[in-house]
Copies of this chain bind each other. A is one copy, B any other.
Amino acid sequence: MHEWTYEALMQELTKPADTKTLLIVLDGLGGLPVPELNGKTELEAAQKPNLDELAKRSMLGLSEPVFPGIAPGSSAGHFALFGYDPLRYYVGRGVLEALGIGFPLQEGDVAIRANFATIRYEGDQPIVVDRRAGRPPTEETKRLCAKLRDAISEVDGVRVLIEPVKEHRFVVVLRGEGLGDGVRDTDPQGTEQPPLSPVPDPDTPENRRTAEVAAKLVGRIAEVLRDEPKANFALLRGFAKRPNWVSFRDLYKLNPCCIAVYPMYRGLAQLVGMTVLNFEGDTIADEIAALRRAWNDYDFFFVHIKATDSRGEDGDFQGKIAVIEEFDRHLPDILALQPDVLAITGDHSTPARYRAHSWHPVPLLVHSRWVIPDPTVDGFGERACAKGTLGKIPAKFLMSLLLAHAGRLERYQA
């Protein structure tokens, strides 16, 4: 007996339609009750008349990113919202780090997350003294990366691309033929021990080739940095290639675009084949303006708003409220575009009181002609969503739900 997968079913059932679907992700939207807010959450406490009014004529529910208890990272949270089961679709740390700085990864590239580190030598044997080289300021890391770039552009015919990230972190991309990404980390995860050698795992010719190049690269880096007082070595982690997944376009028969400011989210959208729009500015207003300009050219729009998550991670519940209220003021402009389907949710919760991504399911609002609103709802909030007419749905099924509302799904079986 053959079992339909989500992917096969989507490719079978989706059909084009003259409808526009808008998915707005307020990153880290969900919150927890805050004593200073009389036990309301950030979302519940925000003055957001437009969202509250919309909630009354929409379906509310909760989106579960992975399964109960699992707090997803940004990639897992977004893959789920895009319908890519995060337990099956995930990318290595090297790729995420490269996406995070907007590095244009090409097919076949091996991306590596690198740390500047401090070592001392016992004879010829390097011993790790500080795995983060005293956390140099980012400016210092930029200088170190420039120095490495000047000295090293290739190893054994493989191009070496080096980009600073933040503090001690930088990205190395190996570009060449026949490179595998199955190579173990060289970070020994502790000090007073030698760095590890890059070991191919599993032992294939491609992985062996990458491991050999990486070993030589580490030696070259150590030579170039020999006289640096602190950052005199590099540890390599998360060897990874950009995956080659079925695209949004092929999966859903959509022409999708992404409006996001942060490189990470632009990169995640690109991974699933969205067109990533370039625009001036980095405010919500700038994003909405870009949305308006693009409105006629696409039929699916992913708009990512970062600051809800940032304020949540800072523990700044007033700041998070302010972002929600800022978004609310733009909602009429969004509604004026008359999307056929509008979903507003988050990729995960980032309660200001928790100061981190949490596992709590995320408030979800779906609006279209085909909703069953709840007349007792008085606004958009965690508790209204927990009792919402949409119920709790796995985030990985949000796209199929939105496609249905958009008139883009055939019936399953006669």
Interface of A with B (CB < 8 Å)? 1-4, 6, 9, 13, 32-33, 39, 41, 62, 66-76, 85-90, 93, 96, 351, 354, 356-361, 370-375, 382-383, 386-394, 397-405, 409, 411-414
A356 to chain B: which residues have CB within 8 Å?
A: 411
With A41-B372, A391-B386, A404-B359 as given contacts, are A413 and B68 in contact (CB-CB < 8 Å)?
Answer: no
With A75-B413, A372-B383, A412-B76 as given contacts, are A391 and B361 in contact (CB-CB < 8 Å)?
Answer: yes
CA of A9 to CA of B2 in the docked complex: distance in angstroms? 20
Copies in the complex: 2
Residue of B nearest to A10 (CB): B69
CA of A392 to CA of B388 in the docked complex: distance in angstroms? 11
| Pairwise interchain contact A414-B93, C-beta atoms closer than 8 A | yes
| Pairwise interchain contact A389-B382, C-beta atoms closer than 8 A | yes
CA of A411 to CA of B32 in the docked complex: distance in angstroms? 18
A370 to chain B: which residues have CB within 8 Å?
A: 32, 351, 354, 358, 360
Residue of B nearest to A387 (CB): B387
Determine which residue in A87, A388, A412 has the highest number of CB atoms from chain B within 10 A of its CB, and name it.
A412
A13 to chain B: which residues have CB within 8 Å?
A: 70
A382 to chain B: which residues have CB within 8 Å?
A: 372, 389
A71 to chain B: which residues have CB within 8 Å?
A: 404, 409, 411-412
A85 to chain B: which residues have CB within 8 Å?
A: 3
A343 to chain B minimum Cβ distance, whole angstroms, is 12
Known: A41-B372, A387-B387. 19 other contacts (CB 8 A): A1-B88, A4-B87, A9-B70, A32-B370, A39-B373, A66-B412, A68-B394, A69-B399, A70-B400, A71-B411, A93-B414, A96-B414, A357-B411, A359-B404, A372-B383, A374-B386, A382-B389, A386-B388, A391-B391
A387 to chain B: which residues have CB within 8 Å?
A: 387, 389
A87 to chain B: which residues have CB within 8 Å?
A: 3-4, 9
A412 interface neighbour in B33, B72, B413, Cβ under 8 Å: B72
A375 to chain B: which residues have CB within 8 Å?
A: 39, 383
| Pairwise interchain contact A397-B76, C-beta atoms closer than 8 A | no
A402 to chain B: which residues have CB within 8 Å?
A: 69
A99 to chain B minimum Cβ distance, whole angstroms, is 10
A3 to chain B: which residues have CB within 8 Å?
A: 85, 87-88
A391 to chain B: which residues have CB within 8 Å?
A: 62, 361, 386, 391-392
CA of A370 to CA of B68 in the docked complex: distance in angstroms? 14
Residue of B nearest to A74 (CB): B414
CA of A253 to CA of B76 in the docked complex: distance in angstroms? 24
A397 to chain B minimum Cβ distance, whole angstroms, is 4
A189 to chain B minimum Cβ distance, whole angstroms, is 14
With A33-B373, A41-B372, A387-B387 as given contacts, are A359 and B401 in contact (CB-CB < 8 Å)?
Answer: yes
Residue of B nearest to A83 (CB): B69
A383 to chain B: which residues have CB within 8 Å?
A: 372, 374-375, 389
